[in-house]
Chain A
Amino acid sequence: MALIEARQLSKHFRVGQRGGLLRRLRDQPSGGRDVAAVTDISFTVEPGEMVAYIGPNGAGKSTTIKMLTGILVPSSGQANVAGLVPWQQRTTLASRIGVVFGQRTQLWWDLPLHESFRLLQHIYRIPTDRYRENLAQLTAVLDLAPFLDRPVRQLSLGQRMRGDLAAAILHEPPILYLDEPTIGLDVVAKERIRTFLQERNQQQGTTILLTTHDMADISRLCERMLIIDHGKLLYDGRVSAISEYYGGQRRLIVDLADDVADPVVPGAHLERREGSRLWLSFRRDETTAPALIATLTARYPIRDLTLEEPDIEAVVRRIYEEGLPGDATAPTGAPMVAP
């Protein structure tokens, strides 16, 4: 049975109404206009899955997550999370989910980090021995010890995010919603968070739904992704399927030892050239990287080379811009599901 299930979820917001209560009440029936944030979203997530939920700003990612946590009541449609209807059984659901909103903290700003954890222990009613055990484990894995005694406002963004992750996991929720958990972090800090999430997913079997703008998060962590734009689900399928479809094109960047007047490489297309550096693109189904490199080294002296894997970001950008192949023939709102 699916752990998370969304069926034709839609959420409309009424906008364009400012001003006092009286004006709002008076204008309510006619004034303002409805803006669809999310339209007819359907998907399921099985226990133990780690799914990326991506889309441009304002696509409806956060709105979907807020409906699945029970924060927002949808305008129409149904959802079931861990056997509960989120907005009807929000308080019960709350102890079974962990939520990180990357843009804001749920820690107590002016208090030392460990005090936030202690308060959360009481909020989630975690038995003391369990709490000690979990905190010790999270402190070790996320390396929290150096700043446990520091007020949250003095933490670096990376430290704060680790603190927030620990706070969301302290009560051992089987489901984790992460809304941009790596936003604004440097490479090292991002990597640390990714490793942690991967371990959590593999070892505890935690189901994770993750929104992000960082394509490295997706390629590193998720096998499946949902793409949403303008409130509609565009794609639901394997990450690799879509990157193969669009990213059959790989790229080899070569630094030649000498300038060659007109380099010719069979099986590859010369995309660009700057001095002795060449950008060669080739299709996975036409040739392999080793074959191409062999051809190259036989012909020219080579100083260095780099192989670029298909860039998911570029792929997603293309989907945003061009839509999916065959999308026009699909019934509106029905997501293309990759094999």
Chain B
Amino acid sequence: MDKLRLYRLLLAARLRSQLQYRVSFALEATSSFTTPFVELIAILILFRTFPNLGGWTAGEVVFLYGLATTSLAVAEMLSSGIDQTSDLIREGNFDRILIRPVNPLLQVLATDFQLRKIGRLMQGGVALTLAQLLITPHWTLLKGLVFFSALCSTVLVFCTIFLIGAAICFWTIDRSEIQNVFVYGGTEIASNPLNIYDQRLQALFLYLIPIGLTVFYPALYILGKPDPLMLPPFMPFLAPVVALLFLSLGLLIWEFGLRHYQGTGS
């Protein structure tokens, strides 16, 4: 609780700093709100030509897209600070974090919160609402729970990818773009039915970077669709377990990287 309070305080300080540059904030928020809309429209246009994609209708794909995009937006906001690690290290400000009696990860998390990603969040919300109108799935309490846990799990998986990308900076100092390949590539993959992809790609996003597992399988369950990959029926419920395992791996890599931190100059 104490930590949560400190996180809030540090973030509030960051946001007040950001608001010192209002115009720049407004511009970024606007652009982040308009860009993702293009993606949603693109999906709808695609389905005017092809009635279904790997056995999925427009509404169902929009649901996948909504789930992935909403999670991505939340993860991007939470991980904004993690994404700054490379800058913190390069500019020598990481030293400052290490001389304070607070967990470095908490401080890194609190260095930034990109409120402007709220555009993408609204986009995800619009997509989920649209999906609801197009397919009207039959909601039960368990489906609600599966939906919520899928959302949280996917957020965790995305955050962990950012975390691993940041931990790599302890060795390379330079920002590595590798996490972006998996985050944005992963969002793209998860926004479509997993069965349309090559088997190796499926395996990669099910078992190594489990975005497929945390989006696709819960969606199958909620939409009441049969599993085209014929995997065991408990797959939709694995999401939180897998996400937590993946997060633990990320934390281990982060801690390992922290010990290899070499600092910069004087």
By a beta-carbon cutoff of 8 Å, the part of chain A in contact with chain B is 13-14, 20-21, 24, 57, 61-63, 66, 69-73, 90-92, 94-95, 97, 99, 101, 103-104, 106, 108-111, 115, 119, 122-125, 151, 179-180
A277-B174 Cα distance, complex, nearest whole Å: 58
A70-B261 Cα distance, complex, nearest whole Å: 11
Task: Decide if A108 touches B263 in the complex (CB within 8 Å).
Answer: no
Given contacts A66-B95, A71-B98, A94-B100, contact A21 B266 (CB under 8 A): no
Task: Decide if B99 touches A69 in the complex (CB within 8 Å).
Answer: yes
CB of B17 within 8 Å of the partner chain: yes
Q: List 6 A-B contacts (CB under 8 A).
A: A71-B98, A91-B103, A99-B99, A101-B96, A106-B96, A110-B16
Given contacts A71-B95, A108-B13, contact A94 B263 (CB under 8 A): no
By a beta-carbon cutoff of 8 Å, the part of chain B in contact with chain A is 5-6, 9-10, 13, 16-17, 20, 91-93, 95-96, 98-103, 168, 171-172, 176, 178, 259, 261-263, 265-266
A104-B91 Cα distance, complex, nearest whole Å: 9
Set of chain A residues within 8 Å of B9, measured between Cβ atoms: 119, 122
Closest residue on chain A to residue B173 by CB atoms: A18
Given contacts A21-B178, A111-B16, contact A97 B172 (CB under 8 A): no
Task: Decide if A92 touches B101 in the complex (CB within 8 Å).
Answer: yes
Task: Decide if A122 touches B101 in the complex (CB within 8 Å).
Answer: no
Task: Decide if B10 touches A119 in the complex (CB within 8 Å).
Answer: yes
A43-B16 Cα distance, complex, nearest whole Å: 45
A66-B178 Cα distance, complex, nearest whole Å: 30
Closest residue on chain B to residue A119 by CB atoms: B13
Q: Smallest Cβ distance from A333 to chain B, in angstroms?
A: 23
Closest residue on chain A to residue B14 by CB atoms: A108
Closest residue on chain B to residue A57 by CB atoms: B266
A97-B95 Cα distance, complex, nearest whole Å: 14
Set of chain B residues within 8 Å of A91, measured between Cβ atoms: 101-103
Q: Smallest Cβ distance from A286 to chain B, in angstroms?
A: 42
Other A-B pairs beyond A70-B98, A111-B13, 11, CB < 8 Å? A62-B266, A71-B95, A91-B102, A101-B92, A101-B266, A108-B13, A111-B16, A119-B9, A123-B6, A124-B100, A180-B266
CB within 8 A of A66: which of B13, B172, B263? Answer: B263
Set of chain A residues within 8 Å of B178, measured between Cβ atoms: 21
Q: Smallest Cβ distance from A272 to chain B, in angstroms?
A: 37
Given contacts A21-B168, A24-B171, contact A72 B261 (CB under 8 A): yes
A253-B266 Cα distance, complex, nearest whole Å: 39
Task: Decide if B262 touches A72 in the complex (CB within 8 Å).
Answer: yes
Q: Smallest Cβ distance from B264 to chain A, in angstroms?
A: 10
Counting from the closest, the 4 A-B pairs by CB-CB distance are A110-B17, A94-B101, A62-B266, A95-B101
Q: Smallest Cβ distance from B192 to chain A, in angstroms?
A: 28
Q: Smallest Cβ distance from A211 to chain B, in angstroms?
A: 9
A contact patch SS? mixed
A71-B5 Cα distance, complex, nearest whole Å: 25
Set of chain B residues within 8 Å of A103, measured between Cβ atoms: 92, 266
Q: Smallest Cβ distance from A61 to chain B, in angstroms?
A: 8
A94-B168 Cα distance, complex, nearest whole Å: 25
Set of chain B residues within 8 Å of A72, measured between Cβ atoms: 261-263
Given contacts A73-B259, A90-B98, A94-B100, contact A179 B266 (CB under 8 A): yes
Set of chain A residues within 8 Å of B13, measured between Cβ atoms: 108, 111, 115, 119
Q: Smallest Cβ distance from B2 to chain A, in angstroms?
A: 8
A95-B176 Cα distance, complex, nearest whole Å: 33
Q: Smallest Cβ distance from A35 to chain B, in angstroms?
A: 11
Q: Smallest Cβ distance from A300 to chain B, in angstroms?
A: 50
A208-B155 Cα distance, complex, nearest whole Å: 46
A69-B263 Cα distance, complex, nearest whole Å: 13
Q: Smallest Cβ distance from A124 to chain B, in angstroms?
A: 6
Set of chain A residues within 8 Å of B176, measured between Cβ atoms: 20-21
Task: Decide if B92 touches A104 in the complex (CB within 8 Å).
Answer: yes
A106-B93 Cα distance, complex, nearest whole Å: 8
Set of chain A residues within 8 Å of B261, measured between Cβ atoms: 71-72
Set of chain A residues within 8 Å of B172, measured between Cβ atoms: 20-21, 24
Q: Chain A CB within 10 Å — which of B92, B171, B262, B265 has the most?
A: B262
Closest residue on chain B to residue A168 by CB atoms: B99
Set of chain B residues within 8 Å of A92, measured between Cβ atoms: 101
Closest residue on chain B to residue A97 by CB atoms: B99
Task: Decide if B101 touches A123 in the complex (CB within 8 Å).
Answer: yes
Q: Smallest Cβ distance from B171 to chain A, in angstroms?
A: 6
Q: Smallest Cβ distance from B186 to chain A, in angstroms?
A: 18
Task: Decide if B171 touches A13 in the complex (CB within 8 Å).
Answer: no
Set of chain B residues within 8 Å of A179, measured between Cβ atoms: 266
Q: Smallest Cβ distance from B114 to chain A, in angstroms?
A: 16
A61-B9 Cα distance, complex, nearest whole Å: 34
A91-B13 Cα distance, complex, nearest whole Å: 22
Task: Decide if B20 touches A13 in the complex (CB within 8 Å).
Answer: no
Closest residue on chain B to residue A13 by CB atoms: B262
Q: Smallest Cβ distance from B18 to chain A, in angstroms?
A: 8
A104-B92 Cα distance, complex, nearest whole Å: 8
A72-B99 Cα distance, complex, nearest whole Å: 11
CB within 8 A of A110: which of B20, B95, B262, B263? Answer: B20
Q: Smallest Cβ distance from B261 to chain A, in angstroms?
A: 7
Q: Smallest Cβ distance from A81 to chain B, in angstroms?
A: 12
